[in-house]
Amino acid sequence: MHIVHSIADLRAALADRRRPAFVPTMGNLHDGHLALVRQAKPLGDVTVASIFVNRLQFLPHEDFDSYPRTWEADCDKLRGAGCDLLFAPREADLYPAPQTFRVHPDPALADILEGYFRPGFFTGVCTVVTKLFNAVQPSVALFGRKDYQQVRVMEQLVAQLAMPVQIVVAETARADDGLALSSRNGYLSVEERAEAARLPQTLRRLADTVRARGLDPAALPALEAEAMAQLAARGWQPDYLTVRRRDDLQPPAAGDRPDGLVALGAARLGRTRLIDNLEFDLAGGTAA
């Protein structure tokens, strides 16, 4: 695996490539990231991953300085997954001057849910991803479905800015108890880790209840509040548990098909904030 840090070296390394398949990450890699790399292998003529902890998407009180940096382990894992090229820019490489130009996504999509609780988050994501896409010039980029809203924002970003990049969405990688793999799971204590699977379980109950009773938009707020209360009773601090339309993440309306819905949640367990989602499948159940 070839490792480069500057954009100039990256472009030189990719000069004779026409179809890079790209997996952007912030490092502290887990099996979900590596599954993206392996899925990328047949989709291009070179597999590129990036590691960059992006200051722009962290709020002042969030964990930018303490976000785990596991460089040697990450490199070993990427080599094992078959990554060809790792782009690991320093902050001065990607932001050589203060980043006064920002990419602001559609507020209707980006200022709800995660964007409501983390103001400016998706502006930071869109800005860094735009810079990474300009540097790598991938033909395809892979993202995990766990970050459901981010995927929708990325799809809209490339569509509205006419970027020649195909967004490929990989299924959420999960532990045996159903917990979605996340770099932040490492913050959980042993007791919290045992409790953490309660989030996908609660989302599944919410989705199954909506499916069993039939979609009634007027009844949804009470069901969502009940789901949040169930978590809160076990010591969680939920931000939201909600059912939305998959395509635009707006509240569903009467007549919306169940297979067009997704249950999404975000909640803090101790000092760790976890997110997850479950799509309603065509058969009427739910799928990760």
Q: Could you give the strand order of the β-sheet that contains 85-87, starting from the edge strand earlier in sequence?
A: 2-4, 85-87, 46-51, 20-25, 140-144, 166-170
Query: Known catalytic residue: 33?
Result: yes
Q: Which of 2, 30, 33, 104 is catalytic?
A: 33
Residue found under tokens 């392996």: 38
Tell me how far apart the alpha carbons of residues 14 and 17 are, in angstroms, rounded to a whole number. 5
How many Cα neighbours within 13 Å face the side chain of 15?
A: 4
What single letter denotes the amino acid at residue 141? A
Dihedral in degrees, nearest 10, Cα atoms 226, 228, 229, 230:
90
What's the CA dihedral at 159, 162, 164, 169 to 10 degrees?
-10
Catalytic machinery residues: 33
